[in-house]
Amino acid sequence: MTLGEKIYKLRNDSGFSQGDLAEKLDVSRESVSKWENNSAVPELEKLIKLSEIFNITLDELVKDEKSDYVKILSIQTRKIVGTILLCTAVCACLLLMVTNGISGLILGVMLSSPVIVLGIICLTVSKHTVLWCSWAVYVLIDLFLLYATGIRRASILHTHIWTSSMNYTRLIMAWVLFIVLVIMIAITVYIFQKNSTKVSKIQLIKALAFVAIVELINMIFPYTLINKYLMDNIMSLTWLYNTIMFVISYLRIISITTAIIFIIRYLKK
């Protein structure tokens, strides 16, 4: 319901004519008519008087009920989707457990993990749910490709020396991962840089310091004793090395994205 429609309804419910309301507000009847037709908007002073005449709060007068309805519908939809996803995952796990025992349950949890993660996000995250679900899907796909095929984004650094024996499909997949990542970061920056909260110089320095620390870890780790131990036991601990590097790569993504957002918001002051 628009403001004009609301004024029209409140006036009729109160038994006022346009002339009666105009007299109470010390305006012309034409002004009231324009308000109700949404061709003009009352000044703040008149809005306050309208709320007093109709015995409602200013917030109730100007609030867009359609917006509230859409918001409630969005919350309900999000919860329904989250519940369906989690119920689907639970049913799949129970079915595999019944047919294959404990091993089936473990397999079911592994296979259903993406659905479980998305379900939890839908039920718990109220803002930018689609964005966080997209990030979750990307991270899970990245993780799967790393452990199932060994494909990683860093392979694009070797594009200039890549040969057919190294399988061009793997290189293409690495480039796809990288391009999608850039798009995801750009969307995230665009959404969060619109936040009107000001960023102080201290917050900006902390964000840049976070980037510096993560980059330092990324440079030092390959030369640490931990890495040497992992390389000496590469047959049994490659997965641990890959996991550590995977975590570091996402720490870099988080730190750089946060720094870009903070820089933009700081410069917009």
Q: What is the DSSP string of 108-142?
A: HHHHHHHHHHHHHHHHH--SSHHHHHHHHHHHHHH
Give the Cα separation of 31 and 263 in Å (integer).
46
> Is residue 110, in this structure, part of any structural domain at all?
yes
The domain boundary, picked from 72, 93, 126, lies at 126
> Is residue 268, in this structure, part of any structural domain at all?
no
> Is residue 92, in this structure, part of any structural domain at all?
yes
**How many structural domains are present in the chain?**
2
Do 11 and 47 lie in one domain? The reply is yes
Give the Cα separation of 258 and 254 in Å (integer).
6
> Is residue 87, in this structure, part of any structural domain at all?
yes
Do 76 and 121 lie in one domain? The reply is yes
pLDDT in tens, 165-219: 888 999 999 999 999 999 999 999 999 988 767 788 899 999 999 999 999 988 8
Residue 13 has pLDDT above 60, yes or no: yes
Phi, psi of 161 (to 5 degrees): -115, 10
Q: Is the dihedral of CA 231, 234, 237, 240 positive or negative?
A: positive
Query: What are the tokens at 225?
Result: 């004793």
Residue 85 has pLDDT above 70, yes or no: yes
pLDDT in tens, 36-78: 887 788 888 888 888 889 888 887 777 765 555 556 557 788 8
Give the Cα separation of 84 and 159 in Å (integer).
43
Give the Cα separation of 158 and 260 in Å (integer).
27
Q: Which residue has the higher pLDDT, 44 or 257?
A: 257
Give the Cα separation of 64 and 254 in Å (integer).
36
Percentage of the chain exceeding pLDDT 90 = 39
Residue 91 pLDDT grade (very low, low, confident, very high; cuts 50, 70, 90) = very high
Residue 88 pLDDT grade (very low, low, confident, very high; cuts 50, 70, 90) = very high
What is the residue range of 25's domain? Answer: 3-63
- What is the secondary structure of 28-70 as a DSSP string? -HHHHHHHHTTSS---HHHHHHHHHHTT--HHHHH--HHHHHH
Residue 257 pLDDT grade (very low, low, confident, very high; cuts 50, 70, 90) = very high
> Is residue 54, in this structure, part of any structural domain at all?
yes
CB 204 within 8 Å of CB 267: no
